[in-house]
Amino acid sequence: MSDADRTIVIKNYDNLALTHYEKSVIEDAGIDCFISGDNMAQPFTMFAPIGGIKLHIYEKDAEKALEILNSLGK
């Protein structure tokens, strides 16, 4: 597996709506991403505060994705 094919968790969430919003912003910038853990965080909310929902991207896109996510907080 090359670095271009490796995925990483770019951010953990405890809020599904925020996860989907930030995922859509990342995708609008042309970065492929996906969410995991949302199926457990919804019915078992006790898992959500410990980062039950995760946003994954390809490692090669990490720098650009972090810039985008950091700009949302401003």
Q: What is the pLDDT of residues 1-40, one digit of tens each?
A: 666 689 999 998 888 899 999 999 999 999 999 999 887 6
Q: What are phi and psi of 34, to 5 degrees?
A: -150, 165
* Residue 49: DSSP 8-state: G
Quickly count: other Cβ atoms within 10 Å of residue 63's Cβ: 9
Is residue 51 over pLDDT 60?
A: no
Q: What is the pTM (predicted TM-score) of this model?
A: 0.80
Q: What is the dihedral of CA 17, 42, 37, 72, to 10 degrees?
A: 20
